[in-house]
Amino acid sequence: MSFTIDSLPPNLAKIVQRFKRATDPKRRYEQLIWYGQRLPEFPEAEKIPENKVPGCVSQVYITASLKDNKVIFQGDSDSQLTKGLVGLLIEGLNGLAPHEIVHLTPDFIQETGLNVSLTPSRANGFYNIFKTMQKKALECQAEISH
């Protein structure tokens, strides 16, 4: 299936559109940092190995919980840009049903133009964060099934 912006969840589509309008890489970075700044305070108690994203150069933590059968993520990172990626993904994926998150592909990053601006380790970090969020969504889905 080829990627189309219409196939994205509404919040994620909005984010992709926002980044598409920012043609200057510096603007994209500013936008990314803005997403990181919008994240609510992450509880220190949640900074545990189970919530740590593997394979990231920076320290990244993600939690997921269910509210009305929708996944609610929280996240944090010690790197400003990585925290922006976390913020972007949380804003894009929060409130979706677990199966919607599990079936998403990370192709939308190409649409934002960020993949061009990101260093290989950050791009890799993005995929690791995305995959961790999918894994946590799957765990939430298992909770619904039981």
140 is catalytic: no
Question: Which of these is catalytic: 16, 56, 101, 109?
Answer: 56
Q: State the pLDDT at residue 116.
A: 82
pLDDT digit string (tens) for 115-131?
888 888 888 899 999 99
pLDDT digit string (tens) for 21-61?
988 888 999 999 999 999 999 999 999 999 999 988 899 99
**Is 26 exposed, middle or buried, given 0-12, 13-18 or 19+ CB atoms closer than 10 A?**
exposed
Question: What domains can be seen in the chain, in order of their start residue?
Answer: 5-145 (3.90.1010.10)
- Alpha-carbon distance of 141 to 69, in angstroms, equals 8
* Residue 65, beta-bridge partner list: 72
Beta-carbon contacts of residue 95 (< 8 Å; ≥ 6 apart)? 11, 70, 71, 72
Angle between helical axes of 80-93 and 25-37 (0-180°, round to 10): 70
Residue 1's pLDDT band (boundaries 50, 70, 90)? very low
Task: Find the DSSP H helices in the chain.
Answer: 10-21, 25-37, 80-93, 98-102, 108-112, 114-117, 120-145
